[in-house]
């Protein structure tokens, strides 16, 4: 091993406080170090060339750079090593600027000693670095889009046009979703069916899209690049290629059931056309409604079908295929207004939902009204939304605008109508929305600010009396209406729940599926390769849905386009000779990346038949699993058990008798960054702290904590990001579990558990970081170092104590 160490002056930033010459001479004395140099600016062209030349000339195989934070110039120096032909992963940086010179600018002597200490730790770690290469995994060009509403349609078209193979699965017999039920869309009043139909036709015409309607996703197994899908396609009993939609069959069908497309306002037969713009455009036989197919009870439809399109001898099909990415676009359901019993939906004949009204307007405008509307019509806003009494706190976003639309459509088609909208707020936030609201006001729709408290029905006339406060004039209104329309909110639907369970997708507090990050990853999920599009992620209107669907296809394309995707080599691995196949780790991995499989045929026969294996496509490199292995068989590349122990030993090596030292395990994403920010702000904190970088706080196993105490740590601090921002599932609960195991043992040994602390940070909590570290440091100073006897015992029989 030939380690090269470089100490940077950083143009005075480091050298004005830390005595560089002392660090150089310290490094020269370390075993395996063959070359130590210093330089005013290591990251400059000159500095980098120095490293490259030295690597070639002196045959260096590992590099330590004592300079700024690895989060600052780490990538620069990693590519320097690559240019010199070395693996970028045999580089370690000692952070002697943000985490040494800058916070300790008042104590140059101590800062120099700490710089030596940190350099020592970097050297200790680099000794055990593996020359890993950059990793990529292969990925194909196949996508599953679940849900054939406008979101699914848009995503499928974008991906199909881009040349990817798309499977579009829709549970209804036709695609189109809720949008196909709408009359006109706000704010332009486009006819919904007219703008949707061409897109639906495009789906059918696109050679890259395989459309599976009347089908449901039954099972999803696998991972990014290898999702194994099982779809159940239900039989329609009608061949879409032969059906001419002549309607002869419905005339003879004896069964009458409510028509779901029309929200139950009209009826249909058991054999029916799912919607006027159905794609595939074919009749469908509803098996549940039909009098019986096996055995055949009626069969009249088949008798009259001229083209011979009806065939009863068909069965549900199981279709299996593999895809590389998945887009979930399963949409929404409207709020079940029967839950708001005070409005009498389901009991009072003249109380309807907005979706009912959409259908009524479509039919009325075609000259076929399906039920009377009356002259006095009231819209009640926020039904099922913003309402703790039905436990839905969220706003459903589109109701203000759709009520503005429906109310003015009604008023314009019959100016003798008296139309009211009873609202709490009028949310007209989007493009053209405020103008559209003004148009409604100009048309004569009356907007009254008050949330309707109750509806009372006159049992003779069936008219509704509505009781509400006009909050703007502080008067109570008790007024009778012919028709009351409930502006129902949007809720997650049953299909979404099912798919979420299959894919283990997280839900937001409002029940919709959760995006990976609310600002920067609005269509990703925390599951790699699975994206969200449309109302499945939360209520939104059509423009936003289409935008999101295109965004999801762009994100999927980004992953698939190169044919491979990058992975960090920070991954778990198994010391197979130590693994006894107990399987305790399998259930603990939050991403299900561990499984037990049989050992190779030519393995040592004395070892267990089964051994743990890591699926690198699923492993996120959090290190949570390591704590659960009683045999120390699990480990993590780039942050191995041996490496962390070596670092711990190194930062405690120069501790003198009577001195105390506090170890801070800082998670890469937040706490380490925060510590850097503290340094940049030149805020001081205790000199006896030593920061060790970890990918996540969950990497710090109970064993490591006990070993740290045993080696000389007097206080241990674990810093982690907040749960909701964490890229690692369950990191916080893992940390808490690890800490409680250690606390238990500390208590047994009579050691104050306050020596071990855990705080969740955000990167701007500068004062919080300083206060917490100082607090622990002061505590250890006051309590004194841990007595040698107790310390020794903490290091003994660790696995027995932890796993008894």
Q: Which residues bind another protein (CB under 8 A)?
A: 341-342, 382, 386-389, 424-425, 449-454, 456-457, 459, 467-471, 474, 476
Nearer to another protein, 460 or 657 (CB): 460
- Give the Cα separation of 176 and 166 in Å (integer): 17
Classify residue 357 by burial, with Cβ atoms within 10 Å: 0-12, 13-18, 19+. Answer: buried
CB of 450 to another protein, least distance (A): 4
Q: Would you state the torsion angle of the CA atoms of residues 575, 581, 583, 584, taken in this order, to the nearest 10 degrees? A: -70
- Residue closer to another protein by CB (options 452, 585) is 452
> What number of other Cβ atoms are within 10 A of residue 538's Cβ?
23
Residue 323 pairs in a beta bridge with: 227
Contacts of 249-253 with CB under 8 Å at 24 or more apart are: 249/283, 249/300, 249/301, 249/304, 249/305, 249/310, 250/283, 251/304, 252/300, 252/301, 252/303, 252/304, 253/298, 253/300, 253/301
State the Cα torsion 50-51-53-56 to the nearest 10°: 160
- The DSSP symbol for 708 reads H
Q: How far is the CB of 539 from another protein (least distance, A)?
A: 17
Cβ distance to another protein smaller for residue 486 or 523: 486
Please answer whether residues 192 and 184 qualify as being in contact, where contact means their C-beta atoms are separated by less than 8 angstroms. Answer: yes
Instruction: Report the residue number, 467 or 754, with the smaller CB distance to another protein.
Output: 467
Closer residue to another protein, CB minimum distance, 291 or 476: 476
Q: What are phi and psi of 782, to 5 degrees?
A: -65, -40
- Residue 574's nearest CA partner among 591, 602, 599 is 599
DSSP 387: B
CA 612/CA 463 separation, integer angstroms:
69
Smallest separation, CB 474 to another protein (Å): 5
Lookup: tokens for 2: 């030939």
Give the residue with the Cβ less far from another protein, 488 or 593. Answer: 488
Rounded to a whole number of angstroms, the minimum distance from the CB of residue 470 to another protein is: 8
Closest approach, Cβ 467 to another protein, in A, equals 5
Give the nearest distance from C-beta 651 to another protein in angstroms: 47
- 450 or 729: whose CB is closer to another protein? 450
Q: Helix (H, G, I), strand (E, B), or coil: what is residue 662?
A: strand
Q: Give the nearer residue to another protein in terms of CB position, either 436 or 481.
A: 481
Q: Residue 406 and residue 572: Cα distance in Å, rounded?
A: 57
How many angstroms separate the CA atoms of 572 and 439, rounded?
61
- Nearest distance, CB of residue 454 and another protein, angstroms: 6
- Residue 687 beta carbon to another protein: minimum distance, rounded to whole angstroms: 44
Nearer to another protein, 388 or 604 (CB): 388
Rounded least distance, CB 374 to another protein, Å? 20
Alpha-carbon separation of residue 429 from 18, 101, 298, 334 (angstroms) = 56, 50, 55, 21
Tell me the closest approach of the beta carbon of residue 424 to another protein, in angstroms. Answer: 4
Task: Report, in Å, the least distance between residue 346 CB and another protein.
Answer: 11
Q: Please give the structure tokens belonging to residue 679.
A: 């340094």
Pick 457 or 510: Cβ nearer another protein: 457
Nearest residue to 121 via CA among 139, 152, 136, 100: 100
CB of 426 to another protein, least distance (A): 13
Which residue's CB is nearer to another protein, number 94 or number 468? 468
Choice between 296 and 342, CB closer to another protein: 342
- C-beta neighbour count of 487 within 10 angstroms: 30
Tell me how far, at minimum, the Cβ of 408 lies from another protein, in Å: 23
Rounded CA-CA distance 337/344 in Å is 8
* Nearest approach, Cβ of residue 335 and another protein (Å): 13
Closer residue to another protein (CB): 118 or 426: 426
Nearest distance in Å: CB 433, another protein: 21
Which has the closest alpha carbon to 617: 589, 587, 642?
589
Give me the helix-helix angle, 150-161 and 192-205, nearest 10°. Answer: 40
Map residue 578 onto helix, strand or coil.
coil
User: Smaller CB distance to another protein: residue 343 or 639?
Assistant: 343
Give the contacts of 755 (CB within 8 A, at least 6 positions apart): 709, 714, 715, 716, 746, 776, 779, 780, 783, 786
Nearest-approach distance from CB 388 to another protein, in angstroms: 4
Token pair listed for 655:
């501790």
Query: Can you list the positions of beta strands (E) in 368-445?
Result: 376-383, 418-423
Q: Give the nearer residue to another protein in terms of CB position, either 319 or 456.
A: 456
The token duo for 461 is: 């006339």
- The rounded distance, in Å, linking the Cα atoms of 24 and 21 is 5
DSSP letters, 496-563, are HHHHHHHHT--B-TTSSBPPSBTTTBSSB-SSTTEEE-GGGSS---HHHHHHHHHHHHHHHHHHHTTS
Which residue's CB is nearer to another protein, number 449 or number 801? 449
């Amino acid at each position: 091993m030939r380690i090269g160490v470089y100490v940077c002056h950083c143009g005075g930033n480091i050298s004005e406080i830390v005595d560089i010459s002392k660090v150089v001479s310290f490094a020269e004395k370390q075993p395996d170090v063959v070359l130590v140099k210093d330089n005013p600016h290591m990251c400059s062209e000159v500095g980098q060339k120095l490293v490259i030349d030295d690597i070639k000339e002196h045959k260096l195989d590992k590099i330590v750079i004592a300079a700024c934070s690895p989060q600052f110039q780490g990538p620069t120096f990693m590519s320097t090593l690559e240019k010199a032909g070395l693996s970028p992963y045999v580089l370690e940086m000692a952070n002697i600027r943000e985490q040494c010179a800058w916070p300790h600018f008042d104590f140059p002597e101590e800062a120099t000693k700490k710089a030596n200490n940190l350099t020592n730790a970097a050297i200790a770690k680099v000794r055990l670095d593996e020359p890993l290469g950059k990793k990529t995994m292969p990925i194909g060009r196949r996508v599953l889009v679940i849900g054939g509403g406008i979101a699914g349609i848009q995503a499928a078209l974008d991906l199909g046009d881009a040349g990817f193979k798309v499977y579009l699965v829709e549970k209804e017999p036709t695609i189109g979703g809720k949008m196909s039920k709408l009359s006109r869309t706000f704010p332009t009043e486009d006819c919904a069916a007219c703008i949707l139909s061409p897109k639906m036709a495009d789906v059918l015409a696109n050679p890259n899209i395989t459309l599976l309607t009347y089908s449901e996703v039954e099972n999803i197994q696998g991972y990014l690049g290898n999702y194994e899908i099982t779809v159940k396609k239900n039989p329609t009993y009608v061949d879409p290629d032969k059906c001419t939609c002549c309607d002869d069959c419905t005339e003879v069908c004896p069964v009458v059931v409510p028509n779901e497309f029309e929200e139950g306002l009209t009826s249909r037969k058991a054999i029916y056309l799912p919607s006027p713009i159905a794609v595939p455009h074919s009749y469908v036989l509803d098996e549940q409604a039909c009098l019986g197919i096996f055995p055949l009870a009626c069969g009249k439809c088949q008798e009259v079908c001229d083209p011979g399109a009806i065939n009863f001898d068909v069965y549900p099909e199981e279709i299996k295929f593999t895809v590389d990415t998945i887009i979930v676009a399963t949409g929404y359901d409207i709020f079940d207004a029967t839950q708001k019993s005070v409005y009498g939906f389901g009991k009072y004949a003249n109380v309807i939902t907005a979706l009912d009204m959409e259908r009524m307007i479509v039919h009325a405008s075609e000259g076929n009204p399906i039920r009377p509307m009356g002259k006095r019509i009231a819209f009640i806003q926020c039904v099922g939304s913003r309402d703790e009494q039905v436990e839905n706190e969220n706003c459903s976003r589109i109701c203000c605008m759709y009520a503005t639309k429906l109310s003015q459509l009604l008023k314009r088609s019959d100016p003798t109508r008296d139309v009211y909208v009873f609202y709490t707020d009028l949310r007209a936030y989007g493009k053209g929305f405020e103008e559209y609201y003004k148009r409604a006001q100009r048309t004569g729709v009356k907007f009254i600010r008050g949330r309707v408290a109750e509806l009372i029905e006159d049992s003779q006339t069936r008219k509704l009396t509505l009781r509400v406060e006009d909050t703007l004039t502080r008067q109570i209104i008790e007024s009778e209406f012919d028709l009351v329309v409930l502006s129902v909110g949007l809720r997650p639907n049953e299909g979404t729940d099912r798919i979420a369970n299959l894919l283990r997708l997280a839900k937001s507090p409002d029940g919709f599926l959760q995006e990976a990050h609310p600002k920067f990853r609005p269509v990703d999920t925390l599951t790699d390769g699975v994206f969200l599009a449309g109302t499945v992620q939360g209520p939104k209107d059509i423009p936003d849905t289409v935008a999101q669907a295109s965004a999801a296809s762009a994100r999927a394309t980004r992953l698939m386009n190169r044919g491979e995707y990058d992975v960090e080599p920070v991954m778990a691995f198994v010391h197979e000779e130590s693994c006894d196949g107990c399987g305790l780790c399998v259930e603990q991995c939050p991403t299900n990346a561990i499984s037990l499989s049989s050992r190779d045929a030519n393995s040592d026969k004395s070892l267990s038949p089964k051994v743990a294996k890591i699926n690198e496509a699923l492993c996120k490199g959090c290190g949570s699993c390591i704590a659960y292995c009683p045999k120390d068989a699990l480990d993590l590349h780039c942050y191995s058990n041996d490496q962390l122990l070596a670092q711990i030993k190194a930062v405690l090596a120069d501790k003198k008798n009577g001195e105390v030292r506090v170890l801070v395990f800082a998670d890469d994403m937040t706490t380490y960054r925060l510590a850097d920010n503290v340094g940049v702000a030149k805020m001081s904190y205790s000199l006896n702290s030593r920061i060790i970088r970890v990918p996540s706080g969950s990497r710090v196993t109970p064993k490591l904590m006990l070993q740290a105490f045993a080696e000389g740590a007097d206080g241990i601090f674990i810093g982690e990001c907040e749960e909701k921002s964490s890229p690692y599932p369950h990191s916080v609960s893992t940390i808490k579990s690890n800490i409680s195991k250690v606390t238990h043992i500390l208590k047994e040994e009579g050691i104050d558990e306050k020596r071990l602390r855990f705080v969740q940070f955000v990167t701007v909590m500068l004062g919080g970081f300083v206060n917490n570290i100082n607090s622990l440091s002061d505590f250890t100073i006051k309590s004194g170092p841990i007595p040698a006897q107790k310390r020794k015992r903490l290091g003994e029989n660790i696995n027995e104590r932890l796993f008894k």
